[in-house]
Amino acid sequence: MGATPLAQEGSRNIGPVILLGPPGAGKGTQAKRIAERYGIPQISTGDILRNNVQGGTELGVQAKAIMARGELVPDELVCNMVADRLRDQDCERGFILDGFPRTPAQAGWLDAFFEHQLVTGGEHCLPIVIRMDVDYNQLIRRITGRKTCTAPGQHIYNVYFQPPRVDNLCDIDGSTLVTRNDDREEVIRKRLQEYERQTRPVADYYQQKGRLISLNGDLPVDEVTQNMFYVIEHHP
């Protein structure tokens, strides 16, 4: 699939992009590339929650133990957090939701949010919903090999597939690379179970509405990116 030259893409509005997929599918990796190409923000609920945990905010205190167990943070807390973020001015031309919605209740909330925006004269109504399908064993290898940087960009590496040039240092900002607290074997299992139980039905929800696009996430990173760009640029 061929994507449009970058020069044409910097200023046009992009419908909201929703990236669905199990832990380790590559949502964060691809969201950063989409954000860079189209100049729209990546809204990762996992990153926002981790920043709150690190900053010791009230939300972070509530979320910390839940995340460490690999369970989902309550819908109300996450929806309020997303609502706050979507009001920021940088979301006006579009945005990428990475890790949200993750339950049918969150998906229903998001539809209502978009509908309200439309009623009040906003533009964001029909999201581009892309699900990344990845083989189970590949997911385990991706998660166990992941390292993320400690700077605000939270750049992502993988000791097997995307190693940094210098061991344990971010190529981009030189910060130290760390293993995420929830990338431990017993927690990974729980996160994958939660995906099957709570998030797979979200894909079914969008499928029933005829809005789900499935992509092969098993391909090398660059190929997945090219396919993502194609889907975004050819979306009605």
Report the catalytic residues: 27, 102, 146, 180, 191
Sign of CA dihedral 86, 90, 94, 96: negative
**221 touching ligand AP5, by CB under 6 A:** yes
Within the chain, how many helices (H) and strands (E) appear?
9, 8
Q: Is 168 left (phi over 0), alpha (psi -120 to 50) or beta?
A: left
Q: Which residue has the tokens 């964001």?
A: 124
Q: Which is nearer to ligand AP5, 42 or 236 (CB)?
A: 42
**220 touching ligand AP5, by CB under 6 A:** yes
> What three-state secondary structure class fits 126?
coil
**100 touching ligand AP5, by CB under 6 A:** yes
For the bound state, the minimum distance from the C-beta of residue 14 to ligand AP5, rounded and expressed in Å, comes to: 20
**127 touching ligand AP5, by CB under 6 A:** no
What residues contact 200, with CB distance under 8 A and at least 6 apart? none
Question: Quick one: which of 66, 195, 70, 220 has its CA closest to 136?
Answer: 195
CA distance 214 to 207: 10
**4 touching ligand AP5, by CB under 6 A:** no
For ligand AP5, the binding residue among 15, 16, 26, 127 (CB under 6 A) is: 26
Looking at residue 197, the DSSP 8-state letter turns out to be: I
The total number of residues written for the chain in this structure: 236
For ligand AP5, the binding residue among 3, 66, 140, 213 (CB under 6 A) is: 66
For ligand AP5, the binding residue among 156, 177, 202, 232 (CB under 6 A) is: 156
**145 touching ligand AP5, by CB under 6 A:** yes
Q: Which is nearer to ligand AP5, 14 or 182 (CB)?
A: 182
**49 touching ligand AP5, by CB under 6 A:** yes
Q: Which is nearer to ligand AP5, 123 or 166 (CB)?
A: 166
Torsion of CA 89, 151, 54, 142, to 10 degrees: 100
Q: Binding-site residue total for ligand AP5 (CB under 6 A)?
A: 36
Looking at residue 151, the DSSP 8-state letter turns out to be: S
For ligand AP5, the binding residue among 85, 124, 155, 191 (CB under 6 A) is: 191
CA distance 157 to 170: 8
Binding footprint of ligand AP5 on the chain (CB under 6 A): 21, 23-29, 45-46, 49, 66-67, 70-73, 78, 99-100, 102, 106, 142-143, 145-146, 156-158, 161-162, 182, 191, 220-221, 224
